[in-house]
Chains A and B, each alone.
Chain A
Amino acid sequence: MMNFRLVKSKIVALLAAEEAGRYRTIGYQHQRESAEENLDSDRSVQVFYQRGTLPKSTGGISGPHKHNMVFMLELTASKVAEGQLDVLENPASTPAQIIAAIQTFQAASSLADDSVDELIEIVYQIIQDARNIDFGLELEVPPIYVSSRNIETITKHQPLPKGDVVTITAAMEIECTMDEQVLGETGTDYESTDTVLDIKGDDVEKTGVLVNEP
């Protein structure tokens, strides 16, 4: 398995292990979610490999190749307006109680904004924690190490306008570097060639170098 797949599975496992009911981890690039679908679980984090660069190096054709890989975390939070619904739905409520309940209502967009900010903080602290510098790959046998792990960008998007459920998303890019080996897909049989350097007159295999012997 190439290392970028290994890293992705470890990021998913790491985030899933740290959920503690605060969000839901989705280990693949999901189709666009409906706001209601996300509302039930409140917040979600989608993890997927987005892109990589493999600059040509002196490793030649057989590798290993340095792989600068970028993983995308898409964070989603959905909220509805919150307030004293019991007062609004109670026929016995007085006009004064209803006015007071309306005044304390919190707008869904404000709640969703706070919620996605909190999710950014949670995920950032998990990924950037020094104990997670190799995403747990250092526990493999033999241990595998990840270089230059860093969250490079965080982008928060505009809320979708006028939906009855307000959804705000953010994107986080994690960059890291590892070597990739070319393992071969199906394998190809080939004839090996054994080259022997045979220089005439060089009976002691000095490869053509004249040495003055005593």
Chain B
Amino acid sequence: MTNLRELAEADLAITLEDSVNGFGLPGILIDPQTGVKAHTADEIFGQIIYDTSGVDSETGAPIIVHRAVFVVRRSSLLRVPQPGELWVVHMPTIPSRTAPKETFVCDNPREDGGSIGFIRLYCTRTKQATP
């Protein structure tokens, strides 16, 4: 017997991580403490959302912000990202499992899916620094 929250968390294996019947797209998370992947499998599957609505902080007007958000199941991670840590995220920005992965960084994980068991990683684009 499981309760409904346990059932909802278990459902993430389908809704979030299943790349055939669910929203799963492959990404790679690099733990800044170890410099290696924060998941046991070669890739971690989760939901990648690229366009979401936001609010202009000056005017309060609704705007579309290109937020790259990677939603992953907490229980699939070896360690959960903490605020202030800079995690490296390799993920596609188009809805294709075979698309090339772009490199993002994330220093702003949000625990707002904690009650169900997922975490949202808000990512920033990167570019090569010039010496």
Contact = CB atoms under 8 A, between A and B. Distances in A.
Given A98-B88, A107-B107, A158 B58 contact: yes
B35 A81 contact: no
Contact of B126 (A36, A83, A157, A169): A83
Interface in A86-138: 86, 88-89, 94-99, 102-108
Contact of A80 (B35, B65, B90, B124): B124
B105 A99 contact: no
Nearest to A98: B35
Contacts of B23: none
A80 B32 CA distance: 19
B54 interface: yes
B124 A161 contact: no
Interface string B116-131: 0000001111111100
A88 B125 contact: no
Contacts of B57: 157-161
26 contacts: A35-B66, A81-B105, A81-B126, A83-B128, A85-B126, A85-B128, A88-B30, A89-B90, A98-B36, A99-B33, A102-B35, A105-B86, A106-B129, A158-B58, A160-B54, A160-B57, A160-B63, A161-B54, A162-B67, A163-B54, A163-B65, A163-B66, A164-B66, A165-B66, A165-B124, A169-B58
Which 6 A-B residue pairings sit nearest by Cβ, starting from the closest?
A95-B35, A98-B35, A80-B125, A82-B129, A99-B35, A164-B68
